[in-house]
């Protein structure tokens, strides 16, 4: 049996009460006021506790590091104003969240994070003298919890220990809750991240088979809602702090939103889930939030290379090959980036080139769209980037596949818009998934029009543009557009349809007060500055005529089975990896190189998830704010030649100059 001997480091009432109670429970306790009294010797103790009446994060981290250095488990116990904090346990040689990870999660999740951050920073240096004074009954209660934690450790019952968790108790009523958190890959104390390298960027494909021919999501038993909630959702310490059903504003589809607060400022990122039921919608909203989390800032490796393209061009991918902003845009209202030159210095990350089958360098600011502040080196962002091409998967192959689908979807939409391409309208009468008919009929019964257009281009992947119109003269939102792409055309339509139906109702309320602003955008495209402005612009009735190219005498209508014969008549391969590689080859042969960034963080690994961002040279990428458009004339001409067998667009003056209507 393990010897029960612990050291309690700290002074005050809480430490004395804890020592007294533990001794009554036959645990040998040695109490000191500070580490210096131990003479750098922890050999006699099984565990180390910090126990203080006054929260001091800096001191707790110092004791934690001291314990870990001597390979002793550490448990933080402290009073924080009216609260008692017990945990986390930090176990040497195990990748578990530490005190610093816990405090960072506290700060980010807090609704007044700037206040808590300042308070936490002060606690790094000074002690708090405004705590409630603990009485003996309260002290006994929380000492009991500490004892229980120690007994769990002595008995090897790690499952119920406060590992990656903290107990938050209330002194006034002795109530408390366990709050789980994930180790922070950016934690300076844990120092987890390896330096970015070619080896870590290399993608090694594995042979993977589908469960069914027409299923493109692989099985993952960890992706049930309960497990996702337990891992990622907690109002005090979770990546996601709040989930709600948006039932009032959305009439046609179950719509669930996951709120994910970001570290800097009061910004909240949202993950949206739109499916046929609330269970899957909630799961989808969590996964979308996670996808955005890893797409904003590197959390898999530490960026280590800084320089210019001119300095690094022997191993770097030329960013100009991915279509940057035209120099004429630099002077447009709202343009906020540094003009690009080959001499501009910035951070670079290793990514995988599909054509070269080798790692290359790509600018960090093109990969991550919301980088945290870094005072050591200037970011020098020179191009607008979004989550375009970001995707999660149950394998790296699946993530790449869905990242490619998003790039294909948006390229097809933008080519259609910039060329004013006449599109074939899709009739859903012979659709397999009758829910699609039910949704469209519900919407049309309320007086709205739904139009589904085929935008499929060179890759052959079914791509669609779904457009909803309110025919009323005083409509608060006149039109709303969305796009989708998937080997199964019905999945492509569903993806766009649920976006349109859930968003339309929300914007009808939001835009009631913004009609004047929308009118200004109609006459001045330069006022379309951010993502929501694109939606607001096309909510205005006067913009309906901009879609006239979709409703001409040339426009055709086809049944879905006629439009996508190959899907309904041919059996896809069971070999998923073979299908992914085939699509990669089709895209790269048609357009150019494909760059793949592995963005999988340790938090995602807990659910066996992978994350990537995919770039395709030569395809159009989505941007928001008209001043940040990224138009590749060669691609537009290539697209026009594909569907017209002729090129009428010779210069940029021939390109549709109106801001795109993509949300």
The number of domains in the chain is 2
Confirm whether 588 is domain-assigned: no
Q: What is the pLDDT of residues 37-83, one digit of tens each?
A: 888 888 889 999 999 998 899 999 999 999 999 999 999 999 998 89
Element (H, E) at 203: none
Do 160 and 263 lie in a common domain?
no
pLDDT at 619 over 50: yes
Q: Which helix (H) or strand (E) holds 32?
A: strand 28-32
The predicted-structure confidence for 499-552, as pLDDT tens digits, reads as follows: 999 999 889 888 878 889 999 999 999 999 999 999 999 999 999 999 999 998
99, 136 Cβ separation under 8 angstroms:
no
**Does one domain contain both 146 and 290?**
no
pLDDT at position 246 is 79
Distance CA 460, CA 41 (A): 69
pLDDT digits (tens, 9 = 90+) for 79-133: 998 899 999 999 998 889 999 999 999 999 998 877 777 766 655 554 555 555 6
The answer as to whether 578 is a domain residue is no
Do the domain assignments include residue 159? yes
Q: Mind listing the pLDDT tens digit for each residue in 199-233?
A: 999 999 999 999 999 999 999 999 999 999 999 99
Residue-level pLDDT at 248: 63
Q: What are phi and psi of 100, to 5 degrees?
A: -65, -45
Residues 99 and 248 in one domain: no
Domain boundary among the residues 145, 160, 180 is at: 180
Residues 36 and 159 grouped into a single domain: yes
- Percentage of the chain beyond pLDDT 90 is 83
Average pLDDT, the chain: 93
- Beta strands at 74-80 and 83-90: parallel, antiparallel or unpaired: antiparallel
Query: Residues 148, 227: one domain?
Result: no
pLDDT for 365 equals 97
| Structural domain harbouring 27 | 5-180
- Indicate if 28 and 169 belong to the same structural domain: yes
Residue with tokens 């989808």: 284
Domain boundary residue among 255, 281, 296? 296
Nearest-CA neighbor of 402 among 392, 414, 413?
A: 392
Pick from 241, 270, 296: which residue ends a domain? 296
Q: How far is CA 399 from the centre of its chain?
A: 13
List pLDDT tens digits, range 259-272. Answer: 999 987 678 999 99
- Whether 444 is in a domain gets the answer no
Q: What's the pLDDT at 126?
A: 45
Q: Collect all residues with Cβ–Cβ distance below 8 Å to 428 and sequence separation of at least 6.
A: 436, 437, 440, 452, 493, 560
Q: What is the mean pLDDT of residues 27-38?
A: 92
Q: What is the pTM of this model?
A: 0.95
| CATH number of residue 235's parent domain | 3.30.160
Q: Please report whether residue 95 resides in a domain.
A: yes
The arithmetic mean of pLDDT across residues 638-644, rounded, is 92
Rounded to the nearest 5°, which phi and psi values hold at 347?
-80, 150
Q: According to the model, what pLDDT value does residue 127 have? A: 53
More confident residue, 120 or 147: 147
Do 41 and 156 reside in the same domain of the chain?
yes
Would residue 353 count as lying in a domain? Answer: no
Q: What is the pLDDT of residues 316-372, one digit of tens each?
A: 999 999 999 999 999 999 999 999 999 999 999 999 999 999 999 999 999 999 998
Whether 364 is covered by a domain: the verdict is no
Residues linked to residue 307 through DSSP beta bridges, in sequence order: 346
The CATH number linked to 122 is 3.40.50.720
Q: Is residue 64 part of a domain?
A: yes
Stronger pLDDT, 40 or 407, i.e. the higher one: 407
Average pLDDT over residues 604-627: 98
């Amino acid at each position: 049996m393990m010897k029960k001997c612990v050291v309690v480091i700290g002074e005050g009432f809480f430490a004395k009460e804890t020592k007294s109670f533990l001794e009554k429970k036959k645990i040998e306790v040695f109490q000191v006021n500070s580490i210096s009294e131990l003479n750098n010797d922890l050999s006699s103790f099984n565990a180390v506790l910090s126990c203080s009446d006054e929260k001091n994060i800096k001191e707790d981290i110092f004791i934690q590091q001291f314990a870990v250095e001597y390979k002793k488990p550490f448990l933080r116990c402290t009073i924080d104003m009216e609260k008692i904090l017990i945990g986390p346990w930090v176990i040497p040689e195990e990748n578990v969240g530490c005190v610093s990870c816990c405090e960072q999660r506290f700060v980010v999740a807090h609704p007044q994070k700037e206040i808590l951050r300042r308070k936490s920073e002060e606690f790094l240096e000074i002690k708090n003298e405004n705590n409630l004074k603990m009485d003996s009954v309260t002290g006994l209660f929380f000492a009991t919890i500490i004892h229980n934690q120690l007994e769990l450790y002595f008995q090897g019952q790690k499952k119920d220990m406060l590992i990656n968790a903290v107990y938050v108790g209330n002194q006034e009523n002795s109530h408390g809750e366990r709050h789980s958190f994930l180790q922070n890959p950016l934690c300076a104390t844990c120092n987890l991240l390896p330096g970015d390298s070619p080896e870590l960027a290399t993608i090694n494909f594995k042979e993977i088979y589908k469960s069914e021919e027409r299923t493109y999501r692989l099985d993952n038993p960890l992706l049930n809602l309960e497990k996702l909630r337990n891992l990622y959702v907690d109002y005090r310490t979770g990546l996601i702090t709040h989930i709600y059903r948006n039932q009032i504003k959305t009439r046609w589809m179950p719509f669930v939103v996951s709120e994910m607060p970001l570290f800097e400022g009061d910004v909240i990122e949202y993950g949206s889930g739109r499916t046929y039921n609330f269970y899957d919608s909630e799961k989808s909203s969590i996964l979308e939030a996670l996808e955005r989390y890893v797409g904003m800032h590197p959390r898999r490796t530490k960026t280590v290379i800084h320089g210019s393209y001119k300095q690094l061009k022997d191993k770097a991918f030329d960013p100009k090959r991915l279509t940057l902003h035209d120099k004429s845009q630099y002077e447009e209202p709202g343009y906020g980036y540094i003009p690009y030159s080959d001499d501009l210095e910035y951070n670079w990350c290793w990514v995988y080139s599909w054509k070269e089958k080798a790692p290359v360098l790509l600018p960090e600011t093109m990969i991550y769209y919301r980088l945290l502040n870094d005072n050591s080196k200037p970011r020098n962002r020179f191009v607008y980037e979004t989550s375009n091409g970001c995707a999660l998967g149950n394998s790296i192959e699946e993530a790449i596949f869905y990242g490619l689908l998003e790039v294909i979807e948006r390229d097809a939409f933008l080519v259609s818009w910039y060329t004013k391409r006449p599109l074939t309208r899709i009739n859903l009468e012979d659709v397999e998934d009758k829910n699609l008919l039910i949704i469209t009929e519900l919407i049309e019964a309320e007086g709205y029009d739904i139009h589904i257009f085929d935008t499929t281009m060179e890759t052959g992947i079914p791509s669609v543009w779904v457009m909803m119109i309110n025919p009323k003269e005083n409509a608060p939102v006149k039109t709303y557009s969305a796009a989708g792409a998937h080997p199964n055309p019905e999945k492509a339509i569903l993806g766009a349809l649920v976006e349109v139906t859930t968003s339309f109702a929300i914007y009808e309320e939001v835009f009631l007060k913004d009609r004047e602003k929308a009118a200004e955008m109609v006459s001045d495209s330069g006022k379309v500055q951010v993502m929501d402005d694109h939606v607001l612009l096309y909510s205005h009735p006067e913009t309906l005529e901009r879609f006239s190219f979709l409703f001409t005498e040339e426009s055709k209508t086809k049944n879905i089975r006629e439009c996508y014969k190959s899907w309904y008549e041919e059996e896809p391969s069971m070999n998923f990896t073979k299908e992914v590689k085939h699509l990669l080859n089709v895209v790269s042969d048609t357009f150019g190189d494909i760059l793949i960034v592995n963005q999988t963080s340790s938090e995602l690994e807990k659910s066996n998830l992978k994350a990537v961002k995919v770039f395709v040279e030569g395809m159009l990428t989505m941007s928001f704010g008209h001043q940040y458009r990224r138009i590749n004339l060669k691609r537009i001409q290539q697209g026009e030649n594909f569907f017209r067998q002729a090129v009428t667009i010779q210069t940029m003056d021939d390109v549709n100059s109106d801001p795109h209507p993509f949300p």
